[in-house]
Amino acid sequence: MLEFAFRPDPQRSTPVYRQLAAYLSGLIDARRVVPGERFPATRELSAELALSRNTVARAYRVLVDEGVLVSHVGQGTFVAAGRPGASGAGSVKAHGTAPPVRGFAWEGLLSARTARIAMPQGAGGLRRQAARFDFSGGSVDAEALPVNELRRVWSRALASSAEVLSRPISPFGLPALREEIALSLVARGISCEADDVLITNGVHQALDLVGRALVDPGDTVVVEQPGYFAAPLAFRAHGARLVGCAVDEDGLVVEELERVLRVRRAKLVYVTPSAQSPTGAVLSERRREALLDVSDAHQLPIFEDDYDSELRFQSPPIAALKTRDPAGRVIYAGTFSKALFPGLRVGYVVAPRSLLGRLATWRAISDFSTDGVAQAAVLELLSSGTLERHIRKQRRLYAVRRSAMLDALANCMPAGTTWTRPRGGHAVWVTLPPEVGGIELHARAQADGIVYARGDFYSFEGRFANSFALSFVNQSVEQIEAGVALLAEVARGLRRGTAPGPR
């Protein structure tokens, strides 16, 4: 008899009978039970799984209603013979066809925390090879990269660094790179030493390590909404209960955070103060002070993601929140992928040493260290000044494209559309008027070869479907103007109910 490995997850909002129905359906899809085979009686299965008989009966009814199972009074419940893609049990070779192979019902074997997480809506639509206009985030202009210099730097890193090639690298990272990062952070107003720096595989790993070190299942973590998609994904993976906090043109609304903290204890708050993701807002001076006061009053650590601080367009350098942190309440993270290219998975964390050692321990458990050649190459880029020169060129190029994006939106988008005017970052946050459906616009735009990230991609709650982010860094001025004009044409058509078909 088949052993049932189902375990309900009490933290999921899905009712247990629905969870059980999905598990049983997965067994059938994997051919662990085949058409015509009898399922255990509800009394038998409820005893085996330690569930109420009513829960099992409701799960069976769901599958009967969906045509997955058939029930015969006095005989029992069986897998439906007409299930799509199914064939009879015990089939043998016929007409040269091998019998179907039984799969493995992995869904029923997943840990509870794995079953709870999923990629956010729209994650699969961020890249389209055939896109005419690519306004998706996370990309750079490859033509603007100093390719020849990068080639030389990587060659030198591979050829000359015995430390990189001959022995394992510490989970903390290359000492020389940690020292160079500490020196470079002076420009951000941060005073630290090499021993305060941990090298990571980008900000994503920094989020994961901090989640491992601080978050227990059931702990509350506050994140910006809309906000960077990877933060809630990482914290939820460690069992966090997420609470969203609004942002506006001055960044995180700290007053809302204070209201949250009056009714529940939070373990961590995640912010992007220098260039809020995805709106580009800068956390105001008043709110920075208020956020630090709240952190001190509630013993609430702050995760400062400084992912895109290099891209600023209308102001002198914006000091990091970490600069006002003599008590060590701010965990500061940065990355080199935004300034160079997305595939460069080299980032870093600056944190109190008592916490940094714990992060390094988790790092040793997960993957031990970041690619040594990439670390050595970044070290060369920093110490030679190549990276700083490239960032200055990027800033000038992207400022022009940002202006083109704002002008195109102003000239083309239908009345009632609003958008941010980012002082930093790489995208403009656009909100449609209510009569233009964001989900339908996204589908029509994709059909016309326009790729961008829908607003609900930036919300763990599935909100902001009528908003979207348009990245301006990966397209020329001409492409920006043409792409926004076409997007606006589709939006106006939807508003009138006469949207043209794909061209």
Of 313 and 222, the one with more pLDDT:
222
Residues 299 and 352 in one domain: yes
For residue 278, is the peptide bond before it cis, meaning its omega torsion is within 30 degrees of 0?
A: yes
Residues 411 and 461 in one domain: yes
Domain assignment present for residue 72? The answer is: yes
Residues 204 and 280 in one domain: yes
Residues 221 and 343 in one domain: yes
For residue 226, is the peptide bond before it cis, meaning its omega torsion is within 30 degrees of 0?
A: yes
Residue 223 contacts residue 460 (beta carbons within 8 Å): yes
Q: In terms of Cα–Cα distance, which of 430, 462, 488 is closest to 120?
A: 462
Q: What is the model's pLDDT at position 209?
A: 97
Domain assignment present for residue 143? The answer is: no
Q: What is the model's pLDDT at position 489?
A: 95
Q: What is the model's pLDDT at position 341?
A: 87
Residues 380 and 414 in one domain: no
Tell me how far apart the alpha carbons of residues 104 and 3 are, in angstroms, rounded to a whole number.
Answer: 13
Tell me how far apart the alpha carbons of residues 264 and 220 are, in angstroms, rounded to a whole number.
Answer: 8
Segment 375-387, tens digit of pLDDT: 999 999 999 899 9
Segment 161-182, tens digit of pLDDT: 666 777 788 999 999 999 999 9
Among 366, 384, 402, where does a domain finish? 384
Report the CATH number that the domain containing residue 472 is assigned in CATH.
3.90.1150.10
% of residues, the chain, pLDDT over 70: 89
Domain assignment present for residue 467? The answer is: yes
Residues 287 and 396 in one domain: no
Q: What is the model's pLDDT at position 26?
A: 87
Segment 69-105, tens digit of pLDDT: 999 888 899 999 865 444 444 444 444 555 566 777 7
Segment 220-241, tens digit of pLDDT: 999 999 999 999 999 999 999 9
Mean pLDDT, to the nearest integer, of 301-310? 88
Q: What is the model's pLDDT at position 103?
A: 73
Residues 225 and 370 in one domain: yes
Segment 116-158, tens digit of pLDDT: 777 665 554 445 456 889 998 877 888 888 888 899 888 888 8
Residues 203 and 310 in one domain: yes
Q: What is the model's pLDDT at position 82?
A: 65
- Strand 453-454 and strand 467-471: pairing? antiparallel
Residue 54 contacts residue 42 (beta carbons within 8 Å): no
Of 114 and 232, the one with more pLDDT:
232
Q: What is the model's pLDDT at position 360?
A: 95
3-class DSSP state of 429: strand
Asked if residue 34 has pLDDT above 60, the reply is yes
Residues 104 and 243 in one domain: no
Query: Which helix H or strand E contains 112, and what residues bound it?
Result: helix 112-116
Burial profile 201-213: b = 16 or more Cβ within 10 angstroms, e = fewer: bbbbbbbbbbbbb
Domain assignment present for residue 144? The answer is: no
Domain assignment present for residue 61? The answer is: yes
The tally of domains found in the chain comes to 3
Residues 280 and 200 in one domain: yes
Distances from the Cα of 187 to the Cαs of 190, 191, 286, 365, 390, in angstroms?
7, 9, 22, 33, 16
Mean per-residue pLDDT of the chain: 87
Of 478 and 325, the one with more pLDDT:
478
- Reading phi first (left if > 0) and then psi (alpha if -120 to 50, else beta), residue 390 is in alpha
Tell me how far apart the alpha carbons of residues 47 and 38 are, in angstroms, rounded to a whole number.
Answer: 17
Asked if residue 112 has pLDDT above 60, the reply is yes
Among 361, 384, 407, where does a domain finish? 384
Residues 89 and 221 in one domain: no
Q: How confident is residue 315, by pLDDT bands cut at 50, 70 and 90?
A: low
Burial profile 367-394: b = 16 or more Cβ within 10 angstroms, e = fewer: eebbbbebbbbbbbbbeeebbeebeeeb
Domain assignment present for residue 7? The answer is: no
Measured over all CA atoms, what is the biggest interatomic distance in the chain, rounded to whole angstroms?
A: 81
Residue 197 contacts residue 180 (beta carbons within 8 Å): no
Q: How confident is residue 361, by pLDDT bands cut at 50, 70 and 90?
A: very high
Domain assignment present for residue 502? The answer is: no
Tell me how far apart the alpha carbons of residues 425 and 474 are, in angstroms, rounded to a whole number.
Answer: 13
% of residues, the chain, pLDDT over 90: 61
Residue 466 contacts residue 437 (beta carbons within 8 Å): yes
Q: What is the model's pLDDT at position 439?
A: 92
Q: What is the model's pLDDT at position 123?
A: 55
Residue 473 contacts residue 426 (beta carbons within 8 Å): yes
Question: Edge-to-edge, what's the strand order for the sheet holding 467-471?
Answer: 418-419, 427-431, 467-471, 453-454
Q: In terms of Cα–Cα distance, which of 451, 439, 450, 436 is closest to 491?
A: 436
Q: What is the model's pLDDT at position 121?
A: 59
Q: What is the model's pLDDT at position 338?
A: 86
Q: What is the model's pLDDT at position 140?
A: 80
Tell me how far apart the alpha carbons of residues 22 and 6 are, in angstroms, rounded to a whole number.
Answer: 10
Domain range for 130 is 125-138+389-496
Asked if residue 246 has pLDDT above 80, the reply is yes
Domain assignment present for residue 293? The answer is: yes
Q: Which of 18-32, 203-217, 239-253, 480-494 has the lowest mean pLDDT?
A: 18-32
Q: How confident is residue 307, by pLDDT bands cut at 50, 70 and 90?
A: confident
Burial profile 333-352: b = 16 or more Cβ within 10 angstroms, e = fewer: bbbbbbbbeeebbbbbbbbe
Q: What is the model's pLDDT at position 74?
A: 84
Report the CATH number that the domain containing residue 47 is assigned in CATH.
1.10.10.10
Residues 246 and 264 in one domain: yes
Among 337, 368, 384, where does a domain finish? 384
